[in-house]
């Protein structure tokens, strides 16, 4: 096949490109330039897609012996990832920018351009597997190395995108093997640390960055009954589950600490309460998608609206939790989601989820298979107010 290898400048994507060549494919390497102002992206190992990373990718492509290009996706990245990040926080939600980058840049904008140019698939260095069932339907599964598994951040992929995706590292049992292979191939990135943190926040100060972009205004800190406990200097400075820095002047009756339970951007209020109130009995969202066949086509349910057993994962590195999921019709979900339209994916974990907030992504698994995902729009506390 004709393969476009997305080369971030890290060790994983370099080895993935090399393996695609060895598998007999015609491979072209491409690096995505995500900012026209290099100083706005981190350098070294803390971010990704920097000038240094572009040079690392170029050197790896030269060793592999494949054509290499840099594509400017900066405008699309700003609109679909950076601006979305600001908008989500402004609405009191907690977005995952890496998830959005995979969804809207690497497997939407990039894949769209690749297919238009005649490529059959895009290969990346993600740790995940694509498996075909007996009828040739493609399914997304966890990687062999669960410690490095990245299927969660790929949960946003659609059936059409899976048809044009390739993950050459999915069956590799450890990252150590990838580094050893990179060293044998002579890649300078063999021992390059993994990237982490948010690439478009230069100093890592997310709160300060948001305050500069959105502004900060003093508001009230409330308890679950609506009583005013104190003042804050900006709701965007808080995150769900936060304990420190609440600046509430007096202790609770039982002496237990308070935690941030809810952020209300429209009224600029922060709601705090006991740790137990962070437990959620249910999460739901109307923005959901399936990575392959949907639950009914897969045989997990016989008709729409039925519940099915699954596991839910709400963070990239959290453990999957046993749960029950179902699709509720629009009329059922409308009362709970406000202005949301359309059906709603409702996930009820067997044990409460802790510290999850709207804006996060809930990825649904059946065994090792990624069935689909939803952006959490509403949550139900396992401990009602006043209890």
Which residues are part of the catalytic machinery?
Answer: 101, 199
Are the C-beta atoms of 178 and 192 separated by less than 8 Å? no
Beta strand 369-375 with 138-142 is: antiparallel
The secondary structure of 137-161 as a DSSP string is -EEEEE-S-TTT--TGGGTT--HHH
What's the rounded Cα separation, in Å, for the pair 238 and 350?
A: 28
Are the C-beta atoms of 134 and 184 separated by less than 8 Å? no
The closest alpha carbon to 16, from 66, 53, 84, belongs to 66
The closest alpha carbon to 326, from 343, 305, 312, 311, belongs to 305
SS3 165: strand
Helix axes 11-22, 175-185, angle to 10 degrees: 70
Give Cα separations from 144 to 167, 262, 365 (angstroms).
12, 37, 15
Beta strand 321-328 with 308-313 is: antiparallel
Count CA atoms closer than 13 A to 328's CA, side-chain side: 22
The secondary structure of 263-295 as a DSSP string is EETTTTEEEEE-GGGGEEEEEEESEEEESSS-T
The closest alpha carbon to 361, from 44, 38, 108, 101, belongs to 101
Give Cβ neighbours of residue 29 (< 8 Å, ≥ 6 apart): 5, 7, 17, 57, 60, 61, 64, 66, 67, 68, 69
């Amino acid at each position: 096949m004709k393969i476009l290898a997305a080369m971030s400048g890290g060790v994983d994507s370099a080895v993935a490109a090399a393996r695609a060549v060895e598998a007999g494919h015609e491979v072209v390497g491409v690096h995505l330039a995500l900012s026209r102002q290099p100083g706005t992206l981190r350098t070294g190992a803390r971010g990704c897609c920097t000038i240094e990373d572009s040079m690392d990718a170029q050197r790896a492509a030269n060793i592999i012996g494949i054509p290499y290009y840099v594509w400017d996706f900066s405008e699309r990245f700003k609109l679909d990832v950076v601006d979305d990040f600001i908008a989500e926080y402004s609405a009191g939600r907690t977005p995952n920018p890496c998830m959005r980058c995979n969804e809207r840049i690497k497997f939407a904008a990039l894949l769209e351009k690749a297919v238009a140019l005649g490529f059959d698939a895009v290969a990346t260095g993600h740790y995940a597997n694509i498996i075909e069932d007996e009828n040739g339907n493609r399914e997304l599964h966890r990687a062999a190395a669960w410690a490095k598994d990245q299927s969660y951040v790929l949960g946003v992929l659609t059936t059409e995108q899976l048809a044009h995706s390739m993950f050459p590292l999915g069956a590799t049992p450890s990252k150590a093997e990838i580094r050893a292979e990179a060293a044998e191939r002579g890649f300078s990135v063999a021992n390059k640390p993994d990237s982490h943190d948010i690439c478009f926040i230069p100093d890592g100060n997310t709160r300060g960055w948001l305050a500069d972009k959105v502004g900060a205004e003093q508001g009230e800190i409330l308890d679950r009954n609506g009583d005013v406990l104190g003042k804050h200097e900006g709701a965007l400075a808080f995150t769900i589950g936060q304990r420190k820095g609440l600046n509430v002047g007096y202790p609770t009756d039982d002496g237990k600490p308070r935690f941030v339970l809810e952020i209300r951007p429209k009224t600029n209020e922060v709601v705090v309460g006991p740790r137990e109130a962070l437990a959620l009995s249910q999460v739901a969202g109307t923005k959901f998608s399936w990575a392959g066949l949907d639950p009914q086509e897969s045989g997990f349910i016989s008709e729409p609206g039925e519940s099915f057993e699954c596991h839910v994962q709400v963070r990239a590195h959290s453990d999957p939790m046993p749960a029950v999921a179902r699709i509720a019709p629009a009329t059922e979900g409308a009362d709970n989601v406000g202005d949301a339209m359309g059906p709603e994916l409702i996930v009820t974990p067997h044990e409460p989820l802790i510290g999850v907030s709207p804006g996060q992504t809930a990825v649904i698994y059946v065994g090792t298979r990624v069935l689909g995902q939803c952006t959490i729009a509403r949550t139900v506390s396992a401990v009602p107010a006043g209890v």
